[in-house]
Amino acid sequence: MPGVLKTLFWGSTGLLLYTHAGYPLLLRALAGPAPPEAHEGEPSPPHELPSVSLIIAAYDEEEVIAAKVRGALALDYPRERLEVVVASDGSGDRTAARAREAGADLVLELPRGGKIRAQDRAVEEAAGEILAFSDANSTWAPDALRRLVSPFFEHERTGYVCGQVRFVNASGTNQEGLYWRYEMAVRELESRLAGVTAGNGAIYAVRREAYLVVDPRMGHDLSFPFNLVKRGWRALYAPEARAEEKMVPSIEGEFARKRRMMSHAWAIVLRGGLLSPRGYPATYALEILSHRVLRYGSPFLHLAALGSSAALRRRRRVYAAALAAQLGLLGAAALGPVLSARPFRLAYYYVLVTASLAAGLLDHLRTGTPAEWDKAEGTR
């Protein structure tokens, strides 16, 4: 029995250290230095730019949709090659009317079916060679669309490109910004090596012929990159294509947001084909294992490390020290809601966000994953 516990402790602890710290270091070693052209130079000149349909799926977004449409029309992109499409997913407010008033080229008023089905319908009606997607509450930099489409010229098999979203936090306790900077650094290294393993809903684009109709419960952010790689397409990250979104104000709100996200992500992991290695290049399979499978399994690795170190604490000092460190993290997290010092807030954020991975799995197994979505509180 002690041998099993020791294996459990060292295995779980090693995997946690690898997925959070060792994997980014391995990526850096494998990817090598960034080529200068990846971050320099101007976007493609107008005569090279493809036609783009910018699709915005919206549910009860009357507060922000007009500003979103006006911002899209003001992008530094030839107007004759840009089509702005708003797909209103059963909105009960004036989302559709305000989108039309703001100048959207096409406004679809659809029955409530969820974000993915609204996007699918918009793709059917859209005319662009490149299909770009954005959330109603995100703001794009003026050159973001040029930067986003630029990688499609670099290789004819580039099928998916996601941009960089920055979260704006004017006030509140959320520590998502620090985590997100770490995540974006990992994403850039993955893009240079074998391709990104996930994107974001604020700013991404797909070549029309690469677009997939996926299960409406699963979403594009996680299901598109790996599915396109399996089909021989490249899935890349364009950090120069920038967007901003308002951050969920509180750590508790971030927990709720990530819990909802993970109820969709677990559907992809367990039923959507992410775990099947068929079609993955070896380096991309390594990325999926390291960044997705192990990361999503981190709550269970933490429980294994905590339980085994508690059982072994009297045998060697290393186990007692490991137990003390884990209890210290939990204690600091417990103080996070009442102490404003950043170490306590970061500990609270880490514990809650890690717990959200398990909570999302529980939600998926217990009640399933709905196709509809709701806005995160405080992000408009």
Nearest CA to 351 out of 276, 225, 266, 258 is that of: 258
Q: Which residue has the higher pLDDT, 380 or 219?
A: 219
pLDDT value at residue 101: 97
pLDDT beyond 50 at 40: no
Let me know: does 61 contact 136? Beta carbons within 8 Å: yes
Q: What is the mean pLDDT of residues 270-279?
A: 94
Phi first, then psi: give them for residue 168, nearest 5 degrees: -95, 130
Segment 266-274 shows an average pLDDT of 94
Q: Which of 29-43, 83-97, 208-222, 276-290 comes out lowest in average pLDDT? A: 29-43
CA 258 from chain center: how many Å? 10
Cα–Cα distance for residue pair 129/327, rounded to 1 Å: 54
Task: Catalogue the E-assigned strands of the chain.
Answer: 52-58, 82-89, 106-110, 130-134, 139-140, 158-168, 204-207, 234-246
CA geometry: angle at 33 spanning 28 and 37, to 5°? 135
**pLDDT tens per residue across span 3-29:** 899 999 999 999 999 999 999 999 999
Cβ–Cβ under 8 Å, residues 283 and 30:
yes
Q: Which among 71, 207, 225 is positioned nearest to 138, based on CA atoms? A: 71
Give the pLDDT band of residue 314 (cuts 50, 70, 90): confident
The confidence score (pLDDT) of residue 367 equals 86
Q: Is the pLDDT of residue 311 over 70?
A: yes
Give residue-wise pLDDT tens across range 89-141. 999 999 999 999 999 999 999 999 999 999 999 999 999 999 999 999 999 99
Query: Rounded mean pLDDT of 172-176?
Result: 65
Which whole number is the average pLDDT over 262-268?
93
pLDDT digits (tens, 9 = 90+) for 91-101: 999 999 999 99
**pLDDT for residue 54 is more than 80:** yes
The model's pTM: 0.90
What pLDDT was estimated at residue 39?
46
pLDDT tens sequence across 195-234: 999 999 999 999 999 999 999 888 899 999 999 999 999 9
Q: In what order do the strands lie in the sheet with 158-168?
A: 106-110, 82-89, 52-58, 130-134, 204-207, 158-168, 234-246, 139-140
Task: Encode pLDDT of 326-377 as tens digits.
Answer: 999 999 999 999 988 889 999 999 999 999 999 999 999 998 877 766 665 5
Domain 36-249, CATH: 3.90.550.10
The Cα 76–Cα 142 span in angstroms is: 5
The set of residues, in sequence order, having a beta carbon less than 8 Å from that of 315 and lying 6+ positions away, is: 2
- Residue 315 has a pLDDT of 86
For all residues of the chain together, what is the average pLDDT? 91
- At residue 221, what is the residue type? D
Domain positions in the chain are: 36-249
